[in-house]
Chains A and B, each alone.
Chain A
Amino acid sequence: MAHDLALVWPEILVLFTATGSLVLEMIRRPRWSCAFTVAGLAVATAVAAGRMEARAAVFSGTLRVDVLLVWARVVLAPATALCSLLAHARAAGGEREATLHALLSYGLLGALLLAGAGDVMFLVLGLLLTSLASFALVAHAADDRGTEAALKYFIFGSVSGAILAFAVTFWFGATGSTLLSGLGRLGGHPWAAALGLAGVLAGLGYKAAVVPFHFWAPDAYDGAPVAVAAYLSVVPKTGAIFALAQVLGQLPADGVAWRPAVALLAAISMSWGNLAALRQESLPRLLAYSSIAQAGYFLVGATALGRSAMAVPALIVFAAAYAAMNIGAFAVVAGTGIDRTALAGVGRKAPLTGVAMVCFLLSLVGVPPLAGFAGKLLLFGAAIDARFGWLAVVAILNSVLSLAVYLRIIVPMYARPGLGEAPVRQSPVVAVAGVALAATLFLGVAARLFFGDGPTVARMDAGPRNGAGPAKARYLVNFPIGSSSGW
């Protein structure tokens, strides 16, 4: 038991951070909550970064500390800290600020539980935790738009969560166990497997904002404060995608044909998200549709799970890149304004802001050598390796479509003479944008950090694993295909 607890120290630290923030609210010292949250999450990240090689299934196999969870910790905890800073810029001095930070941390905890789910109960638990935190976050500003958005989100999310919980009962019935590692026994129960999969895709797809379970996203991002929209676009989405990866990695190959279904969802999400974003005038809404499209890209990587050795690295690198560029884009929006015309002329009035926004948007398109390119390169490589070349073609066509979407933002930034006043400079917003910009610029160049070093070329083959390999190969490279112990 003690050994298991030691392995989940980062999650425990996140829990302490969340609860501590609530305590600060109770003792009427909300002004410390932002610093406390950022510090707590920084400590959690540091602890997690020191334990990147941990591979174990803890708590009787219900939580899996594997490559997905260790990277989720290192990517999502700093992302939450950045969102916390962004939120502080707007909500500072407000009454319930500490609640905001507590909810951000609780949501992070839920996302981490999702990312490390080894049991269907953890899927439900993680989903509930992030969802409840997200509903409250959207409503935090207590204005009409926020309340309406939160209510839509709540109804949609409750139903989806219920569908998920109902669907996994089929899997329990067929396999006799709630553990994901027991899904190998689904082979002889095609109907139970299919129904369960449909529900899981619906439940996790809703959280990740995948078409056709995305309807809550534009309203929620529009009604919520910008920092909350940034948070929603990164943390719960990544948690849900990693949870889906955990599930799909355990499904037997002969049990149910899930690859075409996931590939189709990927293609539709990418296309729908980009096409709808072409018509948006409100920046959070545009970024919401863009994040729906990015969820599609995540699913391209998920389609290749089990068939390509590049699939898991692709998901992780893209998650890190996506966190950086999305938070950066939202930070710029937080500084300038939520209408598309608010950005007009920013390129001339505030050149650094303009350059930063151009970097974030071009990274979202996938222009090298930015972080988004590294992620997309691996995603497309995984798709081709898994013999889903058509999906890679759809993905690159969508990349071009997404350029058209983001050029709608970039062109006014530089074309028109400056209208209105220069963007307000708040130091937390600038700090967040700066960190995000640095990450966007260097994650592409520093891609080797994700891969470890040493003569690991042989490991990238999609063949059976032969031995543990030298201890040098730390981070991503040991993920056997078809082994019952999972990653």
Chain B
Amino acid sequence: MPVLSLTLFLPLIGALLLLALPRRSAGAAHAVGIGTAGLTLLGALAIWARGAGAGFSQVEEVAWVPSLGAAFRLGVDGISLPLVLLASALFLAVLLFSTEVRERPRSYVALFLFLETSCLGVFLSLDLLLFYVFFELTLVGMYFIISGWGHEDRQRAAVMFFLYTLIGSLPLLLAILALHLHTAPRTFDMRALVAAPPLSGGAALATFLAMLFTFSVKTPLFPLHSWLPAAHVQAPAPGSTILAGVLLKLGGYGFIRFALQMTPDAFRAAAPWVAGLAVFSALYGAMVALAQTDLKRLVAYTSVNHMGYLVLAVSAAAATADRAARTIAVDGATLQMVSHGIVTGVLFLLVGALQDRTRTREMGELGGLVSRIPRLAWCFILAAFASLGLPGLAHFPAEFQMFLGAFRVWPWAAAAAVVGLVLTAALYLRAIRSVFFGEPSGQSAGMRDLGSREAFAIIPLLVLIVAIGVAPRILLDTIHAAAAAILP
């Protein structure tokens, strides 16, 4: 029973089904979308139930071009499985949230389903070419979502997003080709490349730098992060959720799977520099977020901050020969990807809900909303506390492990990164105070509180945030086996 292939293509089938619907039927379109996303989540849970751990399991393979060693090859391990779960959960939440979209609903839902297949494909693929195909397809889907349903400056933001991330992803193509050409016999199989990294010396360093470029644009890492604010702010709230919650993880996953596992020696040599960049990026993101007045931009910049910690942890894992430190760092990094995805995803959904009501994102114009819309306010406060790393909520176990792993390798870098936590706390407290507390403005009278549509999307994610915070074992058991075996 090819569960992986079914889970992967279910959203695409749903998207094609939508073409059969009449153009105006918004309800039917959303129903198809939610049903498909729900089935996909069930598929992801089935994959989880079948088990994954160290090494790639549940492999499904169909030869594509045997002469080149390219095949349609899917599989999971402990690192990619949590990301698959994250993606399917977030897409379901987003499609539940979007049921009020009335403008070209068919295309909207179809694009999100297409995007879901692309994202799942990136995490599930075990073939370099297949990975790249899905990696690029996410750009196409996101471009059309931003340009079709975004906010006031959407065309410019969408074009910039597409061009910037395409420049970012093309060096990965060259890196893939370089990796492929050095395997003997020539193959695109990721398992072969992870088991026996083929490159060495200058070629390895050049390939690593190409991959570093690509994944730094995607993650994003200073200074290649400048596409992020515009894309996030102009995208519709569900689009921002997917962008921050899933698409940024493609970069983090790439750092682990490609840079760490396929060019380990080059990464080890360059690790101090990458770690320095990561720490700077984390602090930079936090400081710029502290200076924002637009709430959505603020949340967008905190992504730069959180992903900076992730790259620091992965660099520490690359640099050290201490297995225990490496395992803990990769544990933390993977858990961070899941936590950040859920937490920032929820934050963007809440900002979207807020924007629907207030028509503005400027924090200065809002105020005192905790008395007007208490349920939404407290959801936001919970998510914000999760984002700043409050113990008991999702980010804490992840950040604890990442800093512990980094501390064993570069104590000063870890110490500097922890300063970012203080900055993040400051910026969220400031945002909460100016938006939710204080004197309510006149225009917020009669504002509707969190409705059932939004609650169905947001509350389960909040429950997950608390669950991961209190009992991270539910995910860490899966992750740990793979993290321990990450490098031979």
Contacts and interface: CB of A to CB of B under 8 A. Distances in A.
Contact of A403 (B163, B181, B187): B163
B445 interface: no
A323 to B, nearest CB: 20
Contacts of B174: 380, 384, 389, 392-393, 396
Nearest to A369: B133
B66 A448 contact: yes
A57 interface: no
Contact of B67 (A367, A380, A457): A457
Contacts of B422: none
B67 A460 contact: yes
B158 to A, nearest CB: 8
Nearest to B172: A396
Interface stretch (A73-81, A105-113, A143-151, A407-415): A407-415
Given A380-B174, A392-B174, A457-B186, A385 B67 contact: no
A470 interface: no
A384 B147 contact: no
Contacts of A456: 66-67
B181 A381 contact: yes
B64 A448 contact: yes
A454 interface: yes
B66 A457 contact: yes
Given A384-B181, A403-B162, A451-B67, A368 B133 contact: yes
Contact of A415 (B63, B132, B155, B186): B155
Interface string B169-183: 011011001101100
A403 B140 contact: no
Interface of B is mostly: helix
B67 A411 contact: no
Contact of A455 (B66, B147, B148): B66
Given A448-B65, A477-B67, A380 B159 contact: no
A367 B136 contact: yes
Contact of B170 (A384, A396, A453, A457): A396
A5 interface: no
A414 B159 CA distance: 13
Contacts of A477: 67
B475 interface: no
A452 interface: yes
B159 A451 contact: no
A404 interface: yes
Given A415-B155, A456-B66, A459-B67, A380 B163 contact: no
Contacts of B155: 411, 415
Categorize the interface residue count of chain A: 35 or more
Nearest to A365: B166
Contacts of B133: 368-369, 373
Contacts of B63: 448
A452 B132 CA distance: 23
A451 B64 CA distance: 10
Nearest to B187: A457
Nearest to B106: A351
Contacts of A67: none
A400 interface: yes
A244 B244 CA distance: 49
B65 A447 contact: yes
Given A396-B170, A400-B163, A414-B148, A457 B69 contact: yes
B159 A377 contact: no
A285 B479 CA distance: 55
Interface in B419-447: none
B64 A368 contact: no
Given A369-B133, A373-B133, A459-B67, A385 B162 contact: no
Given A367-B136, A368-B136, A381-B181, A411 B66 contact: no
Interface in B127-181: 129, 132-133, 136-137, 139-140, 144, 147-148, 155, 159, 162-163, 166-167, 170-171, 173-174, 177-178, 180-181
A385 B181 contact: yes
A445 to B, nearest CB: 8
Given A368-B136, A407-B162, A448-B64, A381 B180 contact: yes
A400 B166 contact: yes
B140 A362 contact: yes
A399 interface: yes
Nearest to A453: B66
A46 to B, nearest CB: 25
B114 to A, nearest CB: 12
A380 B162 contact: no
Contacts of B129: 368, 377
A389 B129 CA distance: 19
A458 interface: yes
Contacts of B137: 367-369
B451 interface: no
A350 to B, nearest CB: 13
Interface in A421-461: 445, 447-448, 451-461
Contact of B68 (A403, A407, A451, A458): A451
Given A400-B163, A403-B163, A459-B67, A411 B186 contact: no
Interface string A351-390: 0000000000010010111000100010011001100010
Contact of B147 (A368, A411, A460): A411
B185 interface: yes
Nearest to A452: B67
A145 to B, nearest CB: 33
Contact of B167 (A392, A400, A455): A400
A426 to B, nearest CB: 24
B467 to A, nearest CB: 37
Nearest to B107: A351
Nearest to B147: A414
A389 B178 CA distance: 10
B177 A380 contact: yes
A407 B140 CA distance: 12
B177 to A, nearest CB: 5
A377 B173 contact: yes
Contacts of A369: 133, 137
Contact of B64 (A392, A397, A447, A452): A447
A314 to B, nearest CB: 11
B185 A458 contact: yes
12 contacts: A368-B136, A369-B133, A380-B174, A380-B177, A384-B174, A384-B178, A389-B174, A393-B174, A403-B162, A403-B166, A448-B66, A461-B186
Given A377-B129, A454-B66, 14 more contacts: A368-B133, A368-B137, A369-B133, A380-B173, A380-B177, A396-B173, A403-B163, A407-B159, A447-B70, A451-B65, A456-B67, A457-B67, A461-B186, A477-B67
